[in-house]
Amino acid sequence: MSRQSKTVLVPGGQGWVGQRFVRHLEERGMNPLPLSRREVDYTQSKLLKEVIKDTGASFLINCAGYTGKPNVDACELHKAECLEGNAVLPGVIREVCEDLGLPWGHVSSGCIYSGNGPDGLGFRESDLPNFSFRQGPCSFYSGTKALGEEILEGADRCFIWRLRIPFDNLDFPRNYLSKVLTYHRLLEARNSLSHLDEFVKAACDGWVNEVEFGVYNLTNPGSITTSRVVELARKHLPTDKEFSFFDSEEQFLKEAAKTPRSNCVLNTDKAREAGLVMRPVEEAVIDSFKNWRSAG
Amino acid sequence: MSRQSKTVLVPGGQGWVGQRFVRHLEERGMNPLPLSRREVDYTQSKLLKEVIKDTGASFLINCAGYTGKPNVDACELHKAECLEGNAVLPGVIREVCEDLGLPWGHVSSGCIYSGNGPDGLGFRESDLPNFSFRQGPCSFYSGTKALGEEILEGADRCFIWRLRIPFDNLDFPRNYLSKVLTYHRLLEARNSLSHLDEFVKAACDGWVNEVEFGVYNLTNPGSITTSRVVELARKHLPTDKEFSFFDSEEQFLKEAAKTPRSNCVLNTDKAREAGLVMRPVEEAVIDSFKNWRSAG
């Protein structure tokens, strides 16, 4: 990105996360090319290879994936698509990029874990997924994301950036804070979260600053509970919403969900040591509420 | 197959198993159309839908899948392809067939189990896989086959035919009996096996005779150990090969394999009750050795 061509291919660049990468790259003076599958079917290795060659791209950021709309429950109904988007596609991109010697980054997810990690300090990049097909239970979505990482094991010149419950100050259905503010009832849980713009900047910093390739947990340091997010919303937003919680995860699963959710804390030591710094999670959440506005 | 058009589409119809379906359907007076992915990329639902409509097919038999050459170890190196062929593709075919109301059959595998089943009488169709990503350990191949079955759960008008260690009297690298005769060392294990032509006939009988859609274990009734197969070879073939065995599965895995193998016994009561009869496994093995000849 610093050297050679300024062109960066962004499969999935028209999506919520992808658009942020595109904007951020533009702000850095790069030439991002968002690819939508309708224009170029990048799941076909031949077509992907052609577009990389034709554009002379020096980097690729895979923002494509199947997340399920309105939420992860939809993945239980669209298993083949979910598996293709989250596990097969990274493998196709890996093969093409290795073939061409192109470095690249993959937007993965922290949802492949459940809990606070073996020592209570959050899951490290070296911990095996424990909310996956191989170590269940898991949602189908999490299973496919973990398989996607497995398929990228040992990949050449590849970043795996783990995003986790993205949020920012722009009210939007996929923003975690918007969900907290609109869901009828909430599930109390402790999680690490990623401020979306900070995630994108940290990922790109890693490439520009030539940190070692590999897996990085890119969440805001620390963790936060749902009830603390509600407290901060009450304090910093003009809201008179009456927040209501499920009695238990069992009740949530029984009444409101088809599949279990990952709730987990990630350890961000590796990212910090590589210089990929994000604000403490509570600071980022407060700042988002203080600057809360419509995404439109 | 008995009614309407005589045309049956056979994705993967150029492969070892697929060719047998094609020949068998011809012998039954049907009009099988083998599809190779090079001619028609049937992994693209739009193209698959077109070819079904254009040909007026009344049935489809999915023989496509990724098995790994020369053996299942290759799947550990080609995970994305393996996942696409064995799990995503069945989901794509399901969606297209349900959309068009087309009945179809999927060649699955018994390799999603390990052992003799909960009651020692072999795994029944209702038993959950225990050699899969969700219930490991497993090979990557078995993991993808089990995911393929999961993706077909609840599919309309769909047969899932479980093939298991195919063999017959024609010497060929994929024939289990050929492997026993050529491998340098053998692993002692008890398995159910499928005589390939009997498998194909049982599968087609099920469709023609309108048995209930769903999962069927199509193995020759009973089970057989590797050493018994060797005894039968010695008895019925002119061979002076010195057969040698690994001391243990641990030794086999350490010295000769990258990934564990499924060894398992399947229960064939459901198939038999549906009238899908295959010969007892020892009878079919003896008959194959007695008629042993080159496949060429």
Q: Spell out the per-residue pLDDT of chain B, length 296, in tens.
A: 445 789 999 999 999 999 999 999 999 999 999 999 999 999 999 999 999 999 999 999 999 999 988 888 999 999 999 999 999 999 999 999 999 999 999 999 999 999 999 999 999 999 999 999 999 899 999 999 999 999 999 999 999 999 999 999 999 999 999 999 999 899 999 999 999 999 999 999 999 999 999 999 999 999 999 999 999 999 999 888 899 999 998 899 898 888 888 999 999 999 999 999 999 999 999 999 999 999 87
Digit-by-digit pLDDT tens for chain A (296 residues) are: 445 789 999 999 999 999 999 999 999 999 999 999 999 999 999 999 999 999 999 999 999 999 988 888 999 999 999 999 999 999 999 999 999 999 999 999 999 999 999 999 999 999 999 999 999 899 999 999 999 999 999 999 999 999 999 999 999 999 999 999 999 899 999 999 999 999 999 999 999 999 999 999 999 999 999 999 999 999 999 888 899 999 998 899 898 888 888 999 999 999 999 999 999 999 999 999 999 999 87
Residue A197 has a pLDDT of: 98
Inform me whether the C-beta atom of residue A129 falls under 8 Å from chain B C-beta atoms: no
Interface contact A133-B151, CB threshold 8 A: no
User: What percentage of chain B has pLDDT greater than the value 90?
Assistant: 89
SS3 A256: coil
- Residue B83 has its nearest CB partner, among A81, A88, A134, at A88
Structure ipTM over 0.90, yes or no: no
Tokens of B37: 């992915």
Going by the DSSP 8-state scheme, the letter that residue A130 receives in this structure is S
Give domain status of residue A84, yes or no.
Answer: yes
Element (H, E) at A113: none
Find all residues with CB under 8 Å of A260, minimum gap 6, and list them.
Answer: A137, A138, A139, A249, A253
Is B53 a domain residue? Answer: yes
Decide if B114 is inside a domain: yes
Interface contact A92-B80, CB threshold 8 A? yes
| Domain presence at residue B250 | no
Give domain status of residue B288, yes or no.
no
The CATH number for B57's domain is: 3.40.50.720
Instruction: Measure the CA–CA gap between B76 and B42, rounded to whole angstroms.
Output: 24
B-chain residues near A80 (CB < 8 A): 87-88, 90-92, 94-95, 151
Could you give the CA distance from residue B149 to residue A181 in angstroms, rounded to a whole number? 39
Question: Which of B48, B75, B79, B145 is the mutation pick for testing A, counting most A CBs within 10 A?
Answer: B79
Q: Which residues contact B134 (CB under 8 A, 6 or more apart)?
A: A133, A134, A136, B128, B146
Those residues with Cβ within 8 angstroms of residue B42's Cβ, 6 or more apart along the chain or in another chain: B11, B35, B48, B51, B64, B89, B92, B93
How close is the nearest chain B Cα to the Cα of A80, in Å? 5
CB-nearest to B80 from A88, A132, A136 is: A88
| Domain span at A45 | 7-166+193-220+264-278
Question: Do the Cβ atoms of A112 and A146 come closer than 8 Å?
Answer: yes
- Cα–Cα distance measured from residue B59 to residue A254, given in angstroms and rounded to the nearest whole number: 39
Among chain B residues, the shortest Cα distance to A95 is held by: B80
Q: Which helix (H) or strand (E) holds A13?
A: none
Provide the CB-side half-sphere exposure for A153 (13 A, CA).
14
**B238 within some domain:** no
Which chain A residue has the Cα nearest residue B131?
Answer: A134
- On whether any CB of chain A is under 8 Å from the CB of B11, the answer is no
- How far apart (Å, rounded) are the C-alpha atoms in residues B69 and A30? 43
Domain count across chain B: 1
Q: Is A238 on the interface with B (CB under 8 A)?
A: no
* Distance between B92 CA and the closest CA of chain A, angstroms: 7
d(CA B215, CA A105): 41
Q: Does A98 touch chain B (CB under 8 A)?
A: no
**Which residues, 6 or more positions from A148, have their beta carbon under 8 angstroms from its beta carbon?**
A65, A86, A87, A89, A90, A91, A106, A108
B162 touches chain A (CB under 8 A): no
- Say what the pTM is: 0.90
* A 40-79 residues inside an 8 A Cβ radius of B: 79
**Chain A CB within 8 Å of residue B148 CB:** no
Contact B147 A84 (CB under 8 A): no
Nearest to B285 by CA among B218, B217, B234: B234
A210 falls within a domain: yes
Residue B225 placed within a domain: no
Predicted local distance difference test score (pLDDT) of residue A1: 43
Contact A84 B81 (CB under 8 A): no
Of B81, B88, B136, the CB nearest to A83: B88
Compute the nearest-CA separation of B61 from chain A (Å).
Answer: 19
Q: Which residues of A36-55 are buried (b: 16+ CB within 10 A; e: fewer)?
A: beeebebbbbeebbebbeeb
Cis peptide before B70 (omega within 30 of 0): yes
Query: A79 to chain B: which residues are within 8 Å by CB?
Result: 91, 147, 150-151
Q: Which two tokens stand for residue B52?
A: 């079904």
Q: How far apart are CA B102 and CA B284, in angstroms?
A: 34
Q: For A80, which of B79, B134, B151 is closest by C-beta distance? A: B151
